[in-house]
């Protein structure tokens, strides 16, 4: 069993025979020819939706469902996530193929869907044991990651049948307002109120530069890579936050995870991906390549970087709120409160030096 796959936590378990019966009736191509039940294990790294490996012999599929307990309004919409991937697949082949969607909460405890598993490498904080990456390899990896994001943002939402996914102009303002509300709604007594950061974002928000399909959580551990030769992105996972919006906001959100080798120690502790390796671009270099590939204009990057940090603080705080309430006991969440403090502090430092 890989380090990312563990036994199912008791709090996240469900009735396997009931799932098996549902799959046999609704997605017979994924089940075994005999009557054997699947082996079910859990991917341990997800911090939002719950993800499981459903294995019938050598055939493995992925099941995604919302977390238990308190959920932010409009979050964890499995049906919407399925729709995005089904419509996008013909135009962006990095999307996994959906096999089945179920709205009946009696099967596993909530709605869920099952999709193909894409075999490849998913990078976490450190490179997998035994793997090395030269500076040239790290630079090539970063280029394919940046280009895959830019290519997604270059798609015309109307031509791929997803123009109805967004809410029209004003995306930047809605994001600032929305993440401020979400943060306030789940704030606990051990994190800052961040009102100064929220006020700065309101006062400095630019207009939308474009309306494109954006992923919403673009980072290395949502990408499946082929590293057997020249690095390639072969799969993009976790489309929960996908929408039509300003692509520069998506880049700002993704670069909140892009911790560099020269960042301060507290931020270094939050690194989730090997973006600090020799050869990896700086955030400024990432943005420059992205803009060159897309041709999009950009004004002051400080706004997008600050937004990305505050948004990530909001995501982490939602999870920390659930952990504090006891809705989840996943030990991976034990440090999220401290992480929120680091992110808000970094956002404050950025805004204090900006006009």
Q: Please count the residues of the chain.
A: 355
Angle CA 142–147–152, to nearest 5: 135
Q: What would the two tokens of residue 34 be?
A: 């005999």
3-state secondary structure 127-146: CCCCCCCCHHHHHHHHHHHH
Cα–Cα distances in Å, from 67 out to 61, 72, 149?
Answer: 19, 11, 27
pLDDT score for 1: 46
- Residues 6 or more apart whose Cβ sits within 8 Å of residue 133: 127, 141, 227, 274, 277, 279
What does the alpha-carbon distance between residue 63 and residue 49 come to, in Å, rounded to a whole number?
10
Residue pair 191/230 in contact by the 8 Å Cβ criterion: no
CATH 3.30.200.20 location in the chain: 5-116
Query: How large is the C-alpha radius of gyration of the chain?
Result: 20
pLDDT score for 329: 85
Tell me the torsion sign for CA atoms 67, 72, 75, 79: positive
pLDDT digits (tens, 9 = 90+) for 116-151: 999 999 999 999 999 999 999 999 999 999 999 999
Q: For the whole model, what pTM was predicted?
A: 0.91
pLDDT score for 74: 52
Ranges under pLDDT 70 in the chain: 1-3, 45-48, 69-76, 354-355
- Please choose, from the candidates 239, 250, 217, 234, the residue with its C-alpha nearest in 3D space to the C-alpha of residue 87: 239
* DSSP-derived secondary structure letter, 218: -
pLDDT score for 2: 57
Own/partner contacts of 83-86, CB < 8 Å, gap of 24 or more, are 84/162, 84/165, 84/239, 84/242, 85/115, 85/239
CATH 3.90.1200.10 location in the chain: 135-352
Q: Say which CATH topology domain 5-116 has.
A: Phosphorylase Kinase; domain 1 (3.30.200)
Cα–Cα distances in Å, from 178 out to 103, 175, 240, 303?
Answer: 27, 5, 16, 16
Angle between helices 301-325 and 171-186 in degrees, nearest 10 = 30
Question: Options 3.40.50.10490, 3.40.50.2300, 3.90.1200.10, 3.90.25.10; which CATH number does 135-352 get?
Answer: 3.90.1200.10
**By three-state DSSP, how is residue 47 classified?**
coil
Q: What is the DSSP string of 275-306?
A: TTSTTPPPHHHHHHHHHHHH------HHHHHH
- Residues 6 or more apart whose Cβ sits within 8 Å of residue 245: 166, 171, 175, 208, 211, 212, 214
pLDDT digits (tens, 9 = 90+) for 210-220: 999 999 999 99
């Amino acid at each position: 069993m890989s380090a990312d796959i563990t036994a199912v936590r008791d709090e996240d378990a469900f009735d396997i025979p009931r799932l098996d019966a549902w799959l046999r009736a609704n997605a017979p191509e994924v089940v075994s020819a005999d009557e054997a039940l699947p082996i079910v294990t859990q991917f341990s790294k997800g911090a939002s939706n719950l993800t499981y490996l459903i294995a019938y012999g050598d055939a493995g599929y992925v099941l995604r469902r919302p977390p238990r307990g308190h959920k932010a309004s409009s979050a964890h919409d499995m049906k919407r996530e399925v729709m995005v991937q089904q419509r996008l697949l013909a135009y962006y082949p990095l999307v996994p193929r959906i096999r089945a969607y179920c709205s009946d909460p009696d099967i596993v405890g909530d709605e869920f869907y099952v999709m193909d598993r894409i075999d490849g490498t998913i990078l976490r904080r450190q490179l997998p044991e035994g793997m090395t990456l030269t500076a040239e390899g790290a630079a090539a990896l970063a280029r394919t990651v940046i280009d895959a994001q830019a290519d997604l943002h270059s798609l015309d939402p109307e031509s791929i049948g997803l123009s109805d996914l967004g809410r029209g102009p004003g995306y930047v303002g809605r994001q600032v307002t929305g993440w401020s509300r979400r943060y306030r709604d789940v704030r606990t007594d051990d994190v800052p109120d961040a009102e100064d950061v929220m006020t700065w974002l309101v006062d400095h928000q630019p207009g939308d530069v474009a309306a494109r399909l954006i992923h919403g959580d673009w980072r290395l551990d949502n990408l499946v890579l082929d590293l057997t030769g020249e690095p390639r992105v072969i799969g993009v996972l976790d489309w929960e936050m996908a929408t039509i919006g300003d692509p520069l906001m998506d880049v700002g959100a993704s670069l909140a995870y892009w911790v560099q080798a020269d960042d301060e120690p507290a931020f270094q502790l939050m690194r989730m991906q090997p973006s600090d390796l020799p050869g990896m671009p700086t955030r400024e270099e990432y943005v420059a390549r992205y803009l060159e590939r897309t041709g999009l204009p950009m004004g002051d990057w400080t706004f997008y970087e600050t937004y990305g940090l505050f948004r990530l603080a909001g995501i982490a705080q939602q999870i920390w709120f659930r952990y504090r309430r006891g809705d989840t006991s996943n030990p991976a969440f034990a440090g999220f409160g401290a992480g929120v403090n680091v992110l808000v502090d970094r956002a404050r430092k950025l805004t204090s030096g900006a006009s």
